[in-house]
């Protein structure tokens, strides 16, 4: 079971009108949470860069994300910032062998959501499991609330490191 201190509801970014009309939008929420952008910006990014259609998941998400080397978001805020943050990110896919849990020596076993989170406690990662995407940020799982107690055993299919340039 995941402790409440290491789990955050991924739906907290879904407060816009556009989000209320959507379903199958885990990739949009993962992009929003990983890149620190609003839901509407992530929705537009998923549509234009990943070919996502409204109310449908992204077909071939892993390969499309792996083809991205860097991602930039324009800063639309009107506020004056004393500490400007970069809106440019690097996207680095994990290699297959990096997803194998070294704790198991008798056979190759992939990380689960829980073991991945425990191993990679610093940084931001978009990870994919069967038919779903979520974020792990500094050791905290950001996912659907229904997975807070049951989603930690899912094997990680792919992972992407998200880092600011």
Q: Is the pTM of this model over 0.75?
A: yes
58 closest CA partner among 73, 43, 68, 72: 43
d(CA 62, CA 136): 16
Of the two residues 100 and 13, the one the predictor is more confident about is 100
The pLDDT of residue 1 is above 60 = no
Tell me: the pLDDT tens digits for 56-80?
999 999 999 999 999 998 765 544 4
What residue spans define the domains of the chain?
Answer: 4-71+84-164
């Amino acid at each position: 079971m995941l402790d409440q201190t290491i789990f955050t509801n991924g739906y907290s970014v879904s407060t816009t009108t556009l989000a209320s009309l959507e379903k199958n939008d885990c990739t949009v929420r993962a992009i929003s949470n990983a890149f620190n952008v609003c839901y509407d910006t992530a929705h537009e990014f998923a549509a234009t860069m990943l070919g996502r259609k409204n109310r449908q998941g992204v077909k071939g998400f892993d390969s499309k994300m792996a083809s991205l080397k860097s991602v930039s978001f324009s800063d639309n805020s009107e506020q004056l910032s004393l500490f400007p943050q970069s809106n440019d990110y690097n996207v680095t896919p994990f290699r297959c062998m990096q997803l194998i849990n070294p704790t198991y020596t008798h056979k190759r076993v992939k990380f689960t959501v829980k073991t991945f989170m425990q191993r990679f406690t610093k940084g931001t990662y978009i990870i994919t499991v069967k038919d779903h995407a979520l974020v792990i940020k500094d050791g905290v799982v950001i996912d659907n609330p229904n997975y807070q107690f049951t989603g930690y055993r899912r094997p990680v299919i792919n992972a992407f490191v998200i880092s600011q340039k």
